[in-house]
Structure 1
Amino acid sequence: MKEEGDRLINVLFVCLGNICRSPMAEAVFRNLTEKEGLGGQFRIDSAGTGNWHEGKPPHLDTRRMLDLEGVSYEGMTARQVAISDWDEFDYIIAMDRQNYSDLESLRSFDEGVVVATFMDYVYDSDSKDVPDPYFTGNFEEVYELVQKGCENLLADIKEAYQL
């Protein structure tokens, strides 16, 4: 958790392998904060519950989708979520309910970290999970959900921190 007086708001997006959904959310959220002149007030990262893709860049189709939208993913590589993330992040956002359950099984305490599913921030959808495009191939649908959810998450954080 951030220390007293620390101005960074730390946001972590988590999916299964950290090559499709969570890096897309990381890139989109970073892009939104930078467009609003808030980039310096955030630390944004992503991770996977599994370690299969550690050190690899986002999935080719995730990169293509981000390129189409003009969103940078420069320097991003997959990593596995770590116990230390509970100390370092203010928000840990799971891309689906299984990721959320996996995260909850890692948590042994509650230090005020906001743990939520990404779809909690997509208000106009009945879906409970961001579909995994690694399996569905529908990167466009995922991008639309990610864009909406990131906009709403940022609005909530701005209100909470009076940014």
Structure 2
Amino acid sequence: MKKYRVLFVCLGNICRSPMAEAVFRSRVAAAGLDDRIEIDSAGTGDWHVGKPPHEGTRRLLDRHGIGYDGMRARQLAPEDGGQWDLIVAMDASNERNIRQIVGGSASAEVIRFMSLLPERGVTDVPDPYYTGNFEEVYEMVDAGCERLLERVKDRLADG
């Protein structure tokens, strides 16, 4: 059975996208769907390649009992566009960069994370690398991942 593949993307792949990857992975496992859904994250930039998630992200994930073992930053590659079903951009700049990197022939659907939470009236997940507000980002990511799981369950049911 083919897995549904979800890739979260931010700028450096140490704050927002690994947080979303870990939270979504935890929700998918709790739903008993880890054999049906594959999850990863990447960054559009290469500054942090090979590094673990940011200390602020790790601290929040630890507090919520969410694992991140083995997670290391990687850079988005052109071939990712054909290897993932859904690429989730954390902000508008990331979305533009994703589309440039993977090109127009990519089969992956590209969405902005906050499109999962339209009632918030916010289009981008703020970057806590610059704001320092990891709590705010965790709250957005947690709520958005809940919605994303429902969306992916519907896709799995549709075959």
Alignment TM class, shorter chain as reference: over 0.9
Equivalent in the alignment of 2:13: 18
1:87 and 2:55 equivalent?
Answer: no
Q: Summarize deviations over 1:87-125 as a string: whole Å, max 9, x none.
A: 210000000000001111123334542100000112331
Give TM-score scaled by structure 2 length.
0.95
Structure 1: unaligned runs, 5 residues or longer = 1-5
SS of match in other structure, 1:72: coil
2:148 to 134, 138, 153: 153
Mapped to 2, the partners of 1:77 and 1:101 lie a distance apart of 23
Q: Which consecutive segments of 4 or more residues in structure 1 shift more than 3 A?
A: none
Equivalent in the alignment of 1:101: 96
Give TM-score scaled by structure 1 length.
0.93
Mapped to 2, the partners of 1:110 and 1:156 lie a distance apart of 24
Mapped to 2, the partners of 1:70 and 1:123 lie a distance apart of 28
SS of match in other structure, 1:73: coil
Equivalent in the alignment of 1:119: 114
SS of match in other structure, 1:127: coil
Amino acid at match of 1:47: A
SS of match in other structure, 1:124: helix
2:77–2:102: 8 Å Cα contact kept in structure 1?
no
SS of match in other structure, 2:7: strand
- CA-based RMSD of the aligned residues comes to 1.2
Offset, 1:52? 0.3
Offset, 1:139? 0.4
SS of match in other structure, 1:40: coil
2:2 to 3, 7, 27: 7
2:82–2:107: 8 Å Cα contact kept in structure 1?
no
SS of match in other structure, 2:118: coil
Amino acid at match of 2:52: P
Q: Map of 1:20-59 to 2, 5 A cutoff?
A: 20-59=15-54
Q: Which moved more, 1:111-120 or 1:63-72?
A: 111-120
